[in-house]
Structure 1
Amino acid sequence: MELVRIDGPFGSNRKVDMYQDSGIPYIRVKDVLPSGIFLDKLKYISHEKHNELIRSRVVTGNVLITIAGRLGTAAVFPETLKEGNITGHIIGLELSTEINYHYVATFINSQLGEFQAIRLGHRTTRPELNLSEVGEFIIPVPPRYIQDNISQLMQDSYAKRQNKLSEAERLHQEIDKYLLGELGIDIIKLKSQRRTIKSIRCLTSGRFDFEAVVTLQEINFGLIKPVLLQEVVRQVNQRVTPVDEYANENINYIGLGNIASNTGELVDFFPVKGEEVLNSSPKFELGDILFGRMRPYLNKVWLAEFDGVCSGKAVVLRPNKQKVDPIFLQALLLSQITLNQVVPLQSGTSLPRVSASDILSIKLPIPEDLNKQRKISAEISRRRAEAKKLCIEAENLVNEAKTRVERIILGEEDAT
């Protein structure tokens, strides 16, 4: 199979400060996914910088392969972008017109391609590939109609997957609307009234900076009396240093990266050896709530499904179950009500965070009737379960398609 390899820029030519809001798309490793180039968070560079980095120019139909960071993921540069540039951790392949480039990307993303990437990219420090090693990939080239059928099979599966994921996302988004509707609250009326004159007695948690002063307000939740979070939870700050106490044991360690934004779902989690966690870490128990205080606008709030330890970038809250239902509380903490109060109180430029005392001082509409809370929680749980089921079905669709593709390539199944 004839190909032209295109490599990315290196060294001083590649800097974060060259990013801008528009211009030439600049593709990074995080943008290259098996389902295609992720367009939602693209970065751009100027036309001048693009011309300076012309060696790493890519165009529609080029197959982009990650060679470091995340090894061996391939995607086709889409028609919608026409032209772009790539980071040094990606290479581009320009293929013969006789080859279906989506087929090549599909093969590289299959177990057959993954095996080769791992074998060729083995290093003592971190896995990576170079240009010559990518050239050693063995890619079977069946007749064009088989390539086309394989490509269409995978593209159809990714489209169906996206439909299910979109429906799951819609279900999660509707939870906030449902929750506030059940509480009789109009979120539009909750927008902060920024006033610079405040009585000293209105200030809490020792905050005298501008944001704290102008965003504090008397929030009206209609018939529901506002409750301070600290009235229904207590902060748990029991810490351990896993590398010292559990070095050879598997532990449940939760970082903020394991908590999905806006949904509070657990993602990409697996136990790790205690020796891998070097810092003092807060302990949590089943039923505790982990509230992400680093970059609070990311809205990461998880209701613990087991005991474990977590990053110090989260605050561990233990709900008083005599006053609040944990599922109901998690939903409130994920809602716009909480975001409206917490985000303005963050401090710091590069790594903005909010203090535990500020988190505990937010006001929430918590009905005294626990049965009402539990009724709302039951419906929220039902919707979350439905969304989770859709996500599982979405991944199964792709996995089944990949299995079939591999069988076709190996000649174990017809391509029709």
Structure 2
Amino acid sequence: MQRGSISGRVNADYFHPERLLALRALRQLAQALDCPRLAQLVDFIRHPIQSPGPGCLSLAHVQSHTGELVPTNRKVTGSCFVFQRGDVLFARLGAYLNKVHAAESDGGCSPEFHVLRVKNHEALHPDYLAAILRSNLTLAQTRHMMTGNTHPRLTYEDVVNLVIPLPDIGKQARLVSEMDAARAERRAKLAEANALLADFDSYLLATLGLALPPKDERKVFAVRKLDCGSQARLNADYFHPERILALHALEHSAQALDCPRLAQLVDFIRHPIQSPGPGCLSLAHVQSHTGELVLTNKKVTGTCFVFQRGDVLFARLGAYLNKVHAAESGGCCSPEFYVLRIKDSKALHPDYLAAILRSSLTLAQTQYMMTGNTHPRLTHEDVTNLVFPVPTPAVQETIAAEARRRREEARRLRAGAEAGWQAAKCWFEAQLLGPAPP
């Protein structure tokens, strides 16, 4: 780096070759296209609201590299900013996460975002702006421009000076149309994958010859004093009708199926390690209701537990999240999980155990058994005493094989969805820069 190029910035990453190559590409592009600064195209909106509603967006709500909204249990507190349909939310924190969302409706977001409002819609399409800010051309710059250690962020000065390639509005519309088609195809494949896994619960119960009791959402219900005394529990949820009906269904199934307690079938493993590696699993790594592993930026610190292939990770915290994972390889996990190791592999299949613990029949019990306010959790005693049906090994193998088939097909669909989306992004950038060199 030439000394004369350093002006007001001395952090090495700012002059990373990747960023300089991106700037060079933009300079070459500027010979054929208008390339204004972001501040010339948008207003930065900061309209605060002091009491955000439950739909207020945080970084956790926006998926990296796609801008899609995803479910999360993260709640935004404190001041938020109002945005409206057509605004673009551009992450201030963690630029390497590449979180850019084109708002499809009005709402509120945390101060983790810049709210960008297009000044002239006849010159700039909001969806084109979101796509170019999400592109590798922009990411190659921004991930090397962050300042700060605890919460690396983009400075306001750097954001307003970002250079935006601006083709004519007709070409922008054509690019947006193609990206919308790619997004729709991605959503369709992901929906098909999710449906495969979501419908497994119905298959499981039907194969076992069980039926989930009808939903009972009563807020007021009677409990016998004798029952409270015999079970040493006074919290109302423990006697919720939905849980009691699920227990009755299990009692009925016990006439045809063995229904042991969990402690009779598994050991609870607590082999700690003090320095977990980067692959240590937290609750955030396990998808609700499917048990699939998902990408997350959450890092696990402190003591963790070792698990091995064939173990089942069963969430202690937030039972309503329904996070159960059958380990396909060894690793470690946070204390948010119980590590269950099957005592007799000939009597119980790990994929069957994970499936029945993840089933609506088990969830109808566990979501009403939690204790604690700040971090509601299942007690060890309640988990060891969970009762569930155990069919013959042949039936278990049939269920496990179907679980594997659906899981593999869902993963194939998801991989196809992501590959298609990446190809669309490369096509989008090639329309501006030309094809990438081989």
Structure 1 residue 356 displacement after superposition: 2.2
Q: Indicate if the aligned counterparts of 2:52 and 2:108 stay in contact, CA closer than 8 A.
A: no
Q: Take 1:172 and 1:107, find their aligned partners in 2: how far apart are those partners?
A: 34
1:30 aligned residue: 60
Structure 1 residue 44 displacement after superposition: 11
2:135 aligned residue: 110
1:4 aligned residue: 42
Q: Take 1:146 and 1:92, find their aligned partners in 2: how far apart are those partners?
A: 25
Q: Identify which of 419, 423, 434 aligns with 1:396.
A: 419
1:296 aligned residue: 319
Q: Take 1:338 and 1:326, find their aligned partners in 2: how far apart are those partners?
A: 16
Q: Indicate if the aligned counterparts of 1:294 and 1:313 stay in contact, CA closer than 8 A.
A: yes
Q: 1:171 aligned to 2:196?
A: yes
Q: Identify which of 70, 73, 80 aligns with 2:99.
A: 73
In the alignment, structure 1 segments of 5+ residues that lack a partner are 244-249
Q: Take 1:262 and 1:106, find their aligned partners in 2: how far apart are those partners?
A: 31
In the alignment, structure 2 segments of 5+ residues that lack a partner are 1-35
Q: Indicate if the aligned counterparts of 1:118 and 1:127 stay in contact, CA closer than 8 A.
A: no
- Map 1:128-207 to 2 at 5 A: 128-188=153-213, 196-197=223-224, 203=230, 207=233
Q: Identify which of 249, 264, 279 aligns with 2:291.
A: 264
1:309 aligned residue: 332
Do the aligned partners of residues 157 and 42 (structure 1) sit closer, same or farther apart at CA in structure 2, a change above 3 Å counting? farther
Q: Indicate if the aligned counterparts of 1:32 and 1:66 stay in contact, CA closer than 8 A.
A: no
Do the aligned partners of residues 77 and 40 (structure 1) sit closer, same or farther apart at CA in structure 2, a change above 3 Å counting? same
Q: Take 1:163 and 1:69, find their aligned partners in 2: how far apart are those partners?
A: 29
- Of stretches 207-216 and 372-381 in structure 1, the one that deviates more from structure 2 is 207-216
Do the aligned partners of residues 117 and 38 (structure 1) sit closer, same or farther apart at CA in structure 2, a change above 3 Å counting? same
1:247 aligned residue: none
Q: 1:325 aligned to 2:325?
A: no
Q: 1:336 aligned to 2:360?
A: yes
Q: CA RMSD in A?
A: 3.2
String of CA shifts for 1:13-69, please: whole Å, max 9, x gaps.
666xx2336xxx644333444545638679999xxx99xx8xx54333222211115
Structure 1 residue 86 displacement after superposition: 3.5
Q: Take 1:347 and 1:267, find their aligned partners in 2: how far apart are those partners?
A: 27
Q: Take 1:411 and 1:201, find their aligned partners in 2: how far apart are those partners?
A: 72
Q: Indicate if the aligned counterparts of 2:307 and 2:332 stay in contact, CA closer than 8 A.
A: yes
Do the aligned partners of residues 90 and 189 (structure 1) sit closer, same or farther apart at CA in structure 2, a change above 3 Å counting? closer
2:111 aligned residue: 88
Going by fraction, where is strand more abundant, 1 or 2? Answer: 1
1:370 aligned residue: 393
Do the aligned partners of residues 381 and 198 (structure 1) sit closer, same or farther apart at CA in structure 2, a change above 3 Å counting? farther
Structure 1 residue 8 displacement after superposition: 3.7
Q: Indicate if the aligned counterparts of 2:49 and 2:82 stay in contact, CA closer than 8 A.
A: no
Q: Indicate if the aligned counterparts of 1:236 and 1:317 stay in contact, CA closer than 8 A.
A: yes
For 2:93, the aligned partner's letter is: A
Q: Take 1:329 and 1:39, find their aligned partners in 2: how far apart are those partners?
A: 28
- TM-score between the two structures when normalised by the length of structure 2: 0.78
- TM-score between the two structures when normalised by the length of structure 1: 0.82
Q: Indicate if the aligned counterparts of 1:198 and 1:213 stay in contact, CA closer than 8 A.
A: no
Structure 1 residue 224 displacement after superposition: 1.7
Do the aligned partners of residues 192 and 179 (structure 1) sit closer, same or farther apart at CA in structure 2, a change above 3 Å counting? farther
Q: Take 1:186 and 1:398, find their aligned partners in 2: how far apart are those partners?
A: 40
Identical residues among aligned pairs (%):
26
Structure 1 residue 84 displacement after superposition: 3.6
Q: Take 2:73 and 2:41, find their aligned partners in 1: how far apart are those partners?
A: 27
SS at match of 1:119: coil
For 2:126, the aligned partner's letter is: Y
Q: Indicate if the aligned counterparts of 1:234 and 1:317 stay in contact, CA closer than 8 A.
A: yes
Do the aligned partners of residues 26 and 283 (structure 1) sit closer, same or farther apart at CA in structure 2, a change above 3 Å counting? closer
Q: Take 2:293 and 2:98, find their aligned partners in 1: how far apart are those partners?
A: 26
Do the aligned partners of residues 192 and 147 (structure 1) sit closer, same or farther apart at CA in structure 2, a change above 3 Å counting? closer
Q: Identify which of 208, 212, 227 aligns with 2:260.
A: 227
SS at match of 2:101: strand
Structure 1 residue 87 displacement after superposition: 2.5
SS at match of 1:406: helix
Q: Take 1:88 and 1:14, find their aligned partners in 2: how far apart are those partners?
A: 11
Q: Indicate if the aligned counterparts of 2:67 and 2:99 stay in contact, CA closer than 8 A.
A: no
Structure 1 residue 251 displacement after superposition: 6.1
Q: Take 2:229 and 2:400, find their aligned partners in 1: how far apart are those partners?
A: 33
String of CA shifts for 1:145-192, please: whole Å, max 9, x gaps.
322222122111111110111111111111000010001001126979
SS at match of 1:358: helix
Q: Identify which of 7, 19, 37 aligns with 2:52.
A: 19
String of CA shifts for 1:364-403, please: whole Å, max 9, x gaps.
1111x21111012111211111111111111111011011
Do the aligned partners of residues 269 and 37 (structure 1) sit closer, same or farther apart at CA in structure 2, a change above 3 Å counting? closer
Q: Identify which of 371, 375, 379 aligns with 1:347.
A: 371
Q: Take 1:390 and 1:363, find their aligned partners in 2: how far apart are those partners?
A: 35
Structure 1 residue 85 displacement after superposition: 3.7
String of CA shifts for 1:282-320, please: whole Å, max 9, x gaps.
221111111011001000001112222211110010113
- Map 1:118-129 to 2 at 5 A: 118-129=143-154
